[in-house]
Amino acid sequence: MRNQRTKMLVLSLSIIMMLTILSACSGGNSGEGSNKGNNTSTNVSAEDPDADNSGTETADGNQDVEELTLFINHSWYPIKEWKGSVADKITEKTGVKLKVTVATDDKQLPLMIASGDLPDLIFTASDIDRLSNSNISYPWNELVEKYAPNFEIDPTRIAINTMEDGNFYTIRNAFATKQEWENNKYALGNDGTPGIAVREDIMKELGNPELKTLDDFVKLLGMVKEKHPELVPLVMDKNWIESYFMTQFGIEAGFGSWYENEGKAEYYLKHPKMLEFFKFMNSLYRNGFILAENFAHANDQIDDEYAVSGKAFAHSHTVSVAERDNISTKQNGAAYTFKMIPSSLSEEAVRVNTGVGWSGTFITKNNKNPEKSIKLLQFLASDEGKKLTMFGIEGEHWTWNEEGYPNLKYNTADSDFVNSNGIKWWFLYSDAIVEGLWGYVPGTQTTQALLETKAITTYKPEVGMIQVKADSEEKTIKTKIDEMVTNEKVKIYLAKSDEEAVQRYETMMKNAEKIGLQKLDDWANKTYEEKQSLFK
């Protein structure tokens, strides 16, 4: 009898276990399903009673606030929620509220595309050509014609973003034509421009040596090493290791991109100055100015720690590095400050802006309200919308200066303020001019560095149009070359002698040829010739 009971107990336990396992398997799916169901009929005020939106809703009478899902394919995105005064204002103007998901890594979007499980809107800078597919996204041209006939988009932008099927599925932000750049002298480049900051106190101690050439800078690092052996002379952000120095050598392309040479497009590896640049980087290492460990940084905060905690003299990152470091050192109560060194340290210094835009918004076929979606973008594209997203609320956050730039009432480097108000980051549709005006704050180091950079910048968006397509042969070749260079370049930087560096450089070039560098360039040239007509 007792045996029977134990048996029954064990039996029922194992059945329960099995059920839990099975239901756990399907749990994820069913949860998502019910979520989707919710979204279609979401009433914002019901879900989020304390949001300001509830007020607007009643004010607008019957107009429902539509909640759309937005996937942001930038895992570093500082804003993860639709809140702050700017977001509220956008909702008030457009009747759209966004439910935001920020990517956990760069594999998430490809997997979402593969599984067909897409949100209403996607904001991304990669996989552009995968999403530009009429099975996946709505072409903007169709939506504009149907729902927003008065949404006027500048023809150059349309041309740049038009795909082979004749449709355009997004307009990327952060782009301006050469004409627009020239017409807006206060519009500067954005923070994606390299810069180096140095410790002001140590500069003073060394008698503020002159910094006119790259040699001066190298000598300065030498002096620091001698006088302050406890300091790392130069620490570099892992994503900004090469950029500043390549600029000084007159190499007008970054890693993984093309440059123009006598009317032909060539991959950056072929630039005649590349060897010289590699030798220079190697000399920095051999002189002990940079650490080998710098090339092994697992994240982009390690270099900041070096700089802020006073273990490094110079810190290379972007033009705003000095100001950001200063905010952090101040918080830490440290006595020293950083200042930028000039953006150009040689006559040859050159920057070519090949930008054709950075990130764009896609309206997927899963979108439950394409009409409101395109109208949201239309609002963001309007003068009012662009200024609202980039500067904040007029009067409260900024006033317009007659000179042609906004007088901001806050510090743009104060990321807590910027992020909590939702300034800048909702630029789902924007352009480089209004983004550039945000960067113009007279008297700051960042602005100074950006002005210097703009002075040596030329604009060649046609080069930026050379973009390999997903699943194409060129893409495979390019990925392989880039991957190979990532591994081989470090060997050159860390070579034990000049000869070894040269020899490793040659091996790298041979590998590139073997993988198909020539084939890649042939294709690039063909594309380049085709695309040039867009900008005439």
Partner 1 sequence: MNFETKWATPFKAKRHQILWKRFKKQIVLQLFVGMGMVFLLIFSFTPMFGVVMAFKDYSIVTGIKGIFTSDWVGLKYFDEFVNDYRFGQIVRNTLILSFLKVIFAFPAPILFAILLNEVRHMAFKRFVQTVSYLPHFISWVVVVGIAFSFLSADIGIINKLMVKIGLIDMPMDILTNANYFWGLAVGSAVWKEMGWWTIIFLAAIAGINPALYEAAEIDGAGRLARIRHVTFPGIKGTIVVVLILTIGSILGGGLVGSNFEQAYLLGNDVNNPTSEIVQTYAFKVGLADGRFSYAAAIDLIQSIISVLLIFSSNYIAKRVSGSSLF
Q: Please, what is the minimum distance in Å from the beta carbon of residue 501 to partner 1?
A: 15
Cβ density class 476-513: b for 16+ within 10 Å, e for less: ebbebbeeebeebbbbbbbbeeeeebbebbeebbebbe
Residues numbered 336 to 375 that lie near partner 1 (CB under 8 A) are: none
In terms of DSSP bridges, do strands 457-459 and 351-353 run parallel, antiparallel, or are they unpaired? parallel
Q: Where are the alpha helices (DSSP H) in 333-455?
A: 370-381, 383-391, 415-421, 432-438, 445-455
Q: 54, 393, 491, 503: which one contacts partner 1 (CB under 8 A)?
A: 491
Q: Are 360 and 161 in contact (CB under 8 A)?
A: yes
Binding track over 177-216 against partner 1, x by CB under 8 A:
----------------------------------------
Q: 142, 480, 500, 535: which one contacts partner 1 (CB under 8 A)?
A: 480
Residues numbered 453 to 472 that lie near partner 1 (CB under 8 A) are: 470-471
Q: 32, 60, 106, 530: which one contacts partner 1 (CB under 8 A)?
A: 106
Phi, psi (rounded to 5 degrees) for 530: -65, -40
Does 494 help bind partner 1 (rule: CB under 8 A)?
yes
Does 486 help bind partner 1 (rule: CB under 8 A)?
yes
**Site size for partner 1 (CB under 8 A):** 46
Does 14 help bind partner 1 (rule: CB under 8 A)?
yes
Range 519-522 contact pairs with CB under 8 angstroms and sequence separation of 24 or more: 519/473, 519/474, 519/477, 520/267, 520/474, 520/477, 520/478, 520/481, 521/265, 521/266, 521/267, 521/270
Q: How far apart are CA 294 and CA 183, in angstroms?
A: 41
- Token readout for 388 is 């609202």
Phi, psi (rounded to 5 degrees) for 9: -60, -50
Does 153 help bind partner 1 (rule: CB under 8 A)?
no
Does 514 help bind partner 1 (rule: CB under 8 A)?
yes
Between the two ends of the chain, the Cα-to-Cα distance in Å is: 94
- Token readout for 420 is 């909590």
Residues numbered 231 to 260 that lie near partner 1 (CB under 8 A) are: 232
Q: How far apart are CA 356 and CA 534, in angstroms?
A: 12
Phi, psi (rounded to 5 degrees) for 74: -130, 105
Q: How far apart are CA 376 and CA 372, in angstroms?
A: 6
* Closer residue to partner 1 (CB): 238 or 339: 238
Does 36 help bind partner 1 (rule: CB under 8 A)?
no
Q: Are 492 and 284 in contact (CB under 8 A)?
A: no
Q: Could you tell me which stretch among 185-193, 292-300, 400-408, 413-421 binds partner 1 (CB under 8 A)?
A: 292-300
- Token readout for 199 is 């410790």
Does 29 help bind partner 1 (rule: CB under 8 A)?
no
* Closer residue to partner 1 (CB): 85 or 511: 511
Does 27 help bind partner 1 (rule: CB under 8 A)?
no
Q: Please, what is the minimum distance in Å from the beta carbon of residue 6 to partner 1?
A: 10
Q: 16, 17, 41, 179: which one contacts partner 1 (CB under 8 A)?
A: 17
- Which SS3 state, helix, strand or coil, does residue 123 take? strand
In terms of DSSP bridges, do strands 405-408 and 398-401 run parallel, antiparallel, or are they unpaired? antiparallel
Q: Could you tell me which stretch among 46-54, 137-145, 429-437, 480-488 binds partner 1 (CB under 8 A)?
A: 480-488
Residue corresponding to tokens 């905690």: 309
* Closer residue to partner 1 (CB): 261 or 486: 486
The 8-class DSSP code of residue 137 comes to: B
- Token readout for 197 is 């900051």
Does 21 help bind partner 1 (rule: CB under 8 A)?
yes
Q: Could you tell me which stretch among 91-99, 103-111, 206-214, 345-353 binds partner 1 (CB under 8 A)?
A: 103-111
- Residue 31: burial class (beta carbons within 10 Å; 0-12, 13-18, 19+): exposed
Does 135 help bind partner 1 (rule: CB under 8 A)?
yes
Q: 202, 223, 327, 484: which one contacts partner 1 (CB under 8 A)?
A: 484
Residue 228 neighbours by CB distance under 10 Å: 15
Q: 213, 226, 296, 384: which one contacts partner 1 (CB under 8 A)?
A: 296
The 8-class DSSP code of residue 71 comes to: E
Does 110 help bind partner 1 (rule: CB under 8 A)?
yes
Q: Could you tell me which stretch among 7-15, 138-146, 247-255, 426-434 binds partner 1 (CB under 8 A)?
A: 7-15
Q: 46, 59, 114, 335: which one contacts partner 1 (CB under 8 A)?
A: 114
Q: 3, 62, 115, 331: which one contacts partner 1 (CB under 8 A)?
A: 115
Does 417 help bind partner 1 (rule: CB under 8 A)?
no
Q: 18, 23, 81, 400: which one contacts partner 1 (CB under 8 A)?
A: 18
Does 284 help bind partner 1 (rule: CB under 8 A)?
no
Does 292 help bind partner 1 (rule: CB under 8 A)?
yes
Q: Are 389 and 86 in contact (CB under 8 A)?
A: yes
Exposure on the CB side of residue 241, measured as CA atoms within 13 A: 23
Does 108 help bind partner 1 (rule: CB under 8 A)?
no
Q: Please, what is the minimum distance in Å from the beta carbon of residue 438 to partner 1?
A: 33
Does 16 help bind partner 1 (rule: CB under 8 A)?
no
Q: Please, what is the minimum distance in Å from the beta carbon of residue 239 to partner 1?
A: 12
Site residues (CB under 8 A) for partner 1? 7, 10-11, 14-15, 17-18, 21, 25, 106-107, 110-111, 113-116, 127, 130, 133, 135-136, 232, 291-293, 295-296, 298, 470-471, 475-476, 479-480, 483-484, 486-487, 489-491, 494, 511, 514-515
